[in-house]
Chain A
Amino acid sequence: MMDNNLLLTGMSVAAEQKPRGLKRFFKLLVQQRALVLMSIPFVVWLFIFKYLPLWGWTIAFQDFKPAKSFWEQEWVGFKHFAFLFNDDRFLLVLRNTIVMSLINLVLGFTTAITLALLLNEVRHLLFKRVVQTVSYLPHFLSWVVAVGIIQNVLAPDGIVNELLMRLGLIDSEILFMGKGEWFWGIYGASIVWKDVGWNTIVYLAAMTMIDPAQYEAAEIDGAGRFKKMWHITLPGIKPVIVVLLIMQIGYLLESGFEAQYLMMNGMNMDYSENLDIFVLKYGINQFNYSLSVAASMFKTVVSFILLFAANNIAKRLGEARLY
């Protein structure tokens, strides 16, 4: 009996609390109307510009005709996805995307970490600042400007060909942008040129957190500059490297768009075309909306899974190592 009574009162309390909670919620909402006014218009904006387009994914399952309304479209299931995975061009594009993404990953990390280590060893503060400022410059230039500069440098009468000729390494000019199989190398060099300085910021910040006592102890043990760099600085920034690396894996299908699109030409297309360009080509140039959406949906879904996994791993590692 007692138990029953308790249970009943408990239930009635719970039943009462629900509307009370809702009431409290609305009361707070009215109380905090200033905050609501400051944020909800932007949630509406977010809904329109970022969530509403998700509705467009239905296009991937239709034979989409822009002139027809939603109800008149013909539904075709996974036809376009099946087509994609049997399409040699799509598989080639997928290969390009992943390869360039990996180049980005490996080159991007090693060069940025190396530069950060070198900068960290510079005692002359003014020199260090000048190098940093200069190295940030290309990051702020648009890809349009950057590609223009890269094309100039690599042109048949550009500085690279001229230097190679003068050094006697080649007999005739190389048409760099015309050699498909060289594209990945040019792409790698371009992204390093553009962002190596910028990417050092996080590592340099991490290096300032290393306890100076460690260096002093190593010095007493007779460690030289290189040894200290290898045994103290590098392990000191290891947690940051690991977290950034894992996060980057989440972006495996995001190899960038502008660099490839702007450097692409008829001669290097088989190596430069990536998923984003594929989506653009089918969608905007050939008006094959359904196929284009299917390709971009595939990309988003895979990226979502990768990013989610990467984020969780990074968080777990981050808690164990960073804090």
Chain B
Amino acid sequence: MTVLTIKRRKKQRIRMSPSDIVFEVVNYTLLILLMVVTLYPFLNTLAVSFNDATDSLRGGIYLWPRKWTLENYKFVFEEATIFNATMISALRTVIGTVLTVFCSAMVAYTISRPEYVLRKFVTIAFILTMYVNGGLIPTYLLIRDLGLIGSFWVYIWPGLIGVFNLIIIRSFIENLPDNILESAKIDGAGDFRTFFHIVLPLCTPVLATVALFTGVWQWNSWFDVFLYNSSYEHLSTLQYELQKILQHSNASNRTVDFTAAGAQGGIGQVTPYAIRATMTIVASVPIIMVYPFLQKYFVKGMMVGGVKE
């Protein structure tokens, strides 16, 4: 029925009134403009990263490199600090995401069980942290006292479970058909078995969402590096290295960048402007490769989170 009406409506749409045509033109123009504004700065950075570094300083690079080169990428990956930082970023993203997804799912499962005696206590303990937190200095002192400064694990433990993730996984489990979990119980499956063999596989869509959010957050983090590990270079991350370069050339233009490069000396053909562009691309490409494929999932996750929160 509804499909038919929609089809009929579509056919009627062929003859549009003049005002509808105007609306359509304006709408499409605005949306295309939005896409241009969103994509242009990024594509421009991409072009600069593939363009000869000294040539880029002349300006006039828009969407396509003028003098193609892979030198910038070669430089970035051969630079030990940046390479190591990329590895640390990847490591914290993988370890952090796996642990967060697993632990969040486990806690979410327990607080989705209506018969669990501590359900209210655990739920409230987590929800409360959305409203109160110790703040920067007390947290810093705690991390210091725990001996986590100068350790890789400072990237993992403090943010292990997020309340938002917990809520969206719990809502997902609560919306699973009751009889699936019921029949598992009747078959004599304990909570561990139910969780590992039934809940985890069924929750793939919401876990994909949480994995995306966590992975992006881990990959993009720089503040905890700055705060806890800024004097431990072997634990630096890609975003933090990029942030340091940005801070150096703050509010300046390419010429200032260039003189700064000259002062540092020894950089040769590569300029900070080109390195910045190249590192920006390296720092964003993993995310750009992943999120479009998970769009279906995270849109659903956002809806659940938005309504149920």
Could you list which residues of chain A lie within 8 angstroms of chain B, going by C-beta atoms? Answer: 25, 28-29, 32, 34-36, 38-40, 42-43, 45-57, 59, 66, 115, 118-119, 121-123, 127, 130-138, 140-145, 147-153, 155-159, 175, 177-178, 193, 196-197, 201-202, 205, 212, 216, 224-226, 240, 244, 247, 257-258, 262, 265, 267, 276, 279-280, 283-284, 289, 292-293, 296-297, 299-300, 303-304, 307-308, 322
Residue pair B27, A145 in contact (C-beta under 8 Å): no
- Report which of B19, B41, B140, B160 forms a contact with A225, defined as CB distance below 8 A: B19
Q: Are B41 and A159 in contact (CB under 8 A)?
A: yes
**Known: A56-B137, A115-B34. Contact between A39 and B239, CB under 8 A?**
no
B163 to chain A: closest CB distance in Å?
A: 10
18 A–B contact pairs at CB < 8 A?
A32-B117, A53-B138, A54-B134, A123-B10, A130-B35, A136-B295, A137-B39, A140-B287, A140-B288, A142-B221, A143-B220, A212-B5, A225-B20, A226-B23, A262-B246, A267-B251, A279-B137, A293-B137
A292 and B23 contacting across the interface, CB-CB below 8 Å: no
The answer on a CB contact under 8 Å between A296 and B34 is no
Q: A131-B34, A140-B291 are in contact. Are A293 and B135 (CB under 8 A)?
A: yes
A39-B111, A46-B161 are contacts. A212–B140 as well, Cβ < 8 Å?
Answer: no
B110: A residues at CB distance < 8 A: 35, 38-39
Instruction: Please tell me if the beta carbons of A28 and B239 are within 8 angstroms of each other in the complex.
Output: no
Residue of B2, B146, B251 near A265 (CB, 8 A) is B251
CB neighbours (8 Å) of B157 from chain A are: 45, 49
Contact of A134 among B38, B139, B303 (CB under 8 A): B38
Cβ of B190 under 8 Å from chain A: yes
Q: Which residues 105-157 of B sit at the A interface, judged by CB distance below 8 A?
A: 106-107, 109-111, 113, 115-118, 121-122, 125-126, 129-142, 146, 157
Is B50 in contact with chain A by the CB < 8 A criterion? no
The chain B residues found within 8 Å of chain A, CB to CB, are: 2, 5, 10, 13, 17, 19-20, 23, 27-28, 30-31, 34-35, 37-42, 44-45, 59, 103, 106-107, 109-111, 113, 115-118, 121-122, 125-126, 129-142, 146, 157-158, 160-161, 190-192, 195, 216, 219-223, 227, 239, 242-243, 246, 250-254, 276-277, 280, 283-284, 287-288, 291-292, 295, 299, 302-303, 306-307, 309
Chain A residues near B291 (CB, 8 Å)?
136-137, 140
- Check B34 against A135 for contact (C-beta < 8 Å): yes
A34 touches B253 (CB 8 A): no
Shortest CB–CB separation between residue B9 and chain A, in angstroms?
8
* A159 close to B280 (CB less than 8 A): no
Bound CA–CA A54/B115 (angstroms): 32
Across the interface, do A265 and B250 meet the contact criterion of CB distance under 8 Å?
yes
Could you tell me if A292 and B109 are in contact, using CB atoms closer than 8 angstroms? no
Contacts of A55 in B (CB 8 A): 134, 138
Contact A118 B137 (CB under 8 A): no
Q: Are A35 and B242 neighbours in the complex by a CB distance under 8 Å?
A: no
Identify the closest chain B residue to A224 (Cβ): B19
Q: Contact: A177 with B251, CB < 8 Å? A: yes
Contact B117 A144 (CB under 8 A): no
- Contacting residues, chain A, for B307 (C-beta < 8 A): 322
* Contact of A118 with B27 at beta-carbon distance under 8 Å, contacts A43-B125, A145-B280 already known: yes
Assuming the contacts A38-B106, A300-B132, asked whether A284 and B283 have C-beta atoms less than 8 A apart, the reply is no
Which of A25, A47, A135, A148: most chain B CB closer than 10 A?
Answer: A148
- Cα A279 to Cα B138 with chains together (Å): 12
Cβ of A116 to closest chain B Cβ, rounded Å: 12
Q: Are B109 and A38 in contact (CB under 8 A)?
A: yes
**Inter-chain contact count A-B, CB under 8 Å?**
254
- SS class of chain B's interface: helix, strand, loop or mixed? helix
Contact B136 A50 (CB under 8 A): no
Q: A45-B160, A53-B134, A157-B254 are in contact. Are A38 and B195 (CB under 8 A)?
A: yes
B265 to chain A, nearest CB (A): 24
Q: A39-B118, A258-B223, A267-B251 are in contact. Are A141 and B284 (CB under 8 A)?
A: yes
Question: Judging by beta carbons under 8 Å apart, are A159 and B19 in contact?
Answer: no
Contacts of B118 in A (CB 8 A): 29, 35-36, 39-40
Q: Which 4 A-B pairs have the closest CB atoms?
A: A56-B138, A53-B134, A142-B220, A296-B135
Is B41 in contact with A43, judged by CB distance below 8 angstroms?
A: no
In the complex, the answer to whether A279 meets B295 with C-beta atoms within 8 Å is no
Q: Are B292's CB and A57's CB within 8 A?
A: no
Contact B216 A156 (CB under 8 A): no
User: Is there contact, CB below 8 Å, between B107 and A39?
Assistant: yes
| Distance from A313 Cβ to chain B, minimum over Cβ atoms (Å) | 14
Which A-chain residue is minimally distant from B113 (CB atoms)? A35
- Bound Cα distance from A253 to B269, whole angstroms: 46
- Contact between chains at A296 and B137 (CB < 8 Å): yes
Residue among A134, A216, A308 making CB contact with B5, cutoff 8 Å? A216
Contact check, A118 vs B135: say whether CB atoms are below 8 A apart: no
Residues of B within 8 Å of A48, CB to CB, are 142, 146
The listed residue (A178, A197, A284) touching B251 by CB distance below 8 A is: A178
Task: Evaluate whether A121 and B137 lie within 8 angstroms (CB atoms) in the complex, with A157-B253, A212-B2 already known.
Answer: no
Closest residue of chain B to A39 (Cβ to Cβ) is B110
Which residues of the partner chain B approach A141 to less than 8 Å between Cβ atoms?
Answer: 220, 284, 287
Give chain B residues whose Cβ lies under 8 Å from the Cβ of A197. 38
Expressed in whole angstroms, the Cα–Cα distance for A202 and B115 within the complex equals: 32
Q: How far is the CA of A276 from the CA of B244 in the complex (A)?
A: 20
- Known A34-B192, A46-B125, A133-B295; judge A142-B239 contact (CB<8 A): yes
Instruction: Give chain A residues whose Cβ lies under 8 Å from the Cβ of B116.
Output: 32, 35, 39
- B137 to A292, Cβ gap below 8 A? yes
Contact present for B137 and A144 (CB under 8 Å): no
- Assembly CA distance A45 to B153 (angstroms): 14
Q: Which of A57, A131, A276 interacts with B138 by CB under 8 Å?
A: A57
- In the complex where A32-B115, A157-B59 touch, is A147 in contact with B246 (Cβ < 8 A)? yes
